[in-house]
Structure 1
Amino acid sequence: MKKAALRKEFLQKRKEADGQWLIEKNALIAQNLEKYVQQNHFKTLHTFLPQLGSREIDTFFIIESFRIAFPAMRIAAPYIVPGTREMEHYLVTPSTHLVLNQWKIPEPDPLTAEKIRPEEIDIILVPLLAFDRKGYRVGYGGGYYDRFLPQTRPDCIKIGLSLFEEVEAIEDIDGYDIPLDACITPGRLYDFKNLKAY
């Protein structure tokens, strides 16, 4: 299937999902992600923050659990520069003031939060609607992450979070599409570098 069709299909799936199902799947994703992070030594994690009312994966739950499990880890989130397709990146601490942007996405307030450079990031939680067996993803179509990911170090881990399992193939991949290193769902971890799932 092509990106536009997959985007429509998975937005609808998420819209129709039962509230209790979403809570359970979010908890399983957080557990699987924590297991993955425990096996690695990441100093700085970058995560998207969920759009209000969109039924996106609850990364606030992940942030809170990681503050307990990995107290030394720095956690950052993006800020979309108004009028552009560029993102800046700021640390998120318990005292960070968050503001809503025009899409109702919470962002660190750039006037008060501590800015970091993309090269400082060790692992990125990448938002998506669908992903395929090769690690390519269908995002929301804005291209923000397509611009951001090349700015990071070559060894930075790009990991998707998905409520649903993979599709066989995304047909209209282009040169701007950067494959994920891994993707975590409620049921498994897909490791695209080593071509396995467990």
Structure 2
Amino acid sequence: MKKAALRKEFLQKRKEADERWLIEKNALIAQNLEKFVLINHFKTLHTFLPQLGSREIHTSYIIESFRISFPTMRIAAPYIVPGTREMEHFLITPFTHLVINQWRIPEPDPVTSEKIRPEEIDIVLVPLLAFDRKGYRLGYGGGYYDRFLPQTRPDCIKMGLSLFEEVNEIADIDAFDIPLDACITPERLYDFKSLKA
């Protein structure tokens, strides 16, 4: 299927999902991710923060649990530079002041937060609506992560998080689409790059 049709389908699936189902799936994704992180010893994890009311993966829950399980790991989140398609990246702590941007996405306040460089990041949790068997993801169409991911180190893990299992193929992949190294769903870890798992 092509991106437009898939985007419509998976937005609808997410919209129709039962609240209890969403809570269960989010918890399973967090558990599977924690197992992966436990054996890889990442120093700096970068995560998206979910758009308010969007029913995206509940990364706030992941952040809170990881602060307990991995107290020495640094956690960062993106800040969209106003008027651009670029992101900057800031550490988030229990004391970080979050601001809500025009898309209703919480972001670390760039005035009071500590900025980090993309090269410092060991694993990026990448937002998506769907992904295919080759590791290509269907995002939201803004291209922010397609610009950001090439700025990270070659060994930085690009990890998708998905409520749903893979689709067979995203038909209209282009040169700007960057494949994931792996994707975690409630059921399993999809490994596209022979990772330590």
Aligned to 2:22: 22
Q: What SS is found at the alignment partner of 2:142?
A: coil
User: What is the one-letter code of the residue matched to 1:32?
Assistant: N
Q: Deviation of residue 136 (structure 1)?
A: 0.1
Q: What SS is found at the alignment partner of 1:39?
A: helix
Q: Deviation of residue 20 (structure 1)?
A: 0.4
C-alpha RMSD over aligned residues: 1.0
User: What is the one-letter code of the residue matched to 2:93?
Assistant: T
Q: Distance in 2 between matches of 1:7 and 1:88?
A: 26
Q: Distance in 1 between matches of 2:113 and 2:194?
A: 37
Aligned residues: 196
Q: What SS is found at the alignment partner of 1:67?
A: helix
Alpha-carbon deviations, 1:175-197, whole Å to 9, x = none? 101100000000000001139xx
Aligned to 2:117: 117
Q: Distance in 2 between matches of 1:107 and 1:128?
A: 18
User: What is the one-letter code of the residue matched to 2:46?
Assistant: H
Aligned to 2:54: 54
User: What is the one-letter code of the residue matched to 2:127?
Assistant: P
Aligned to 1:135: 135
Equivalent positions of 1:44-193 (< 5 A) are: 44-193=44-193
Q: Deviation of residue 41 (structure 1)?
A: 1.5
Q: What SS is found at the alignment partner of 1:68?
A: helix
Q: Which runs of 4+ in 1 moved over 6 A?
A: none
Identity %: 86
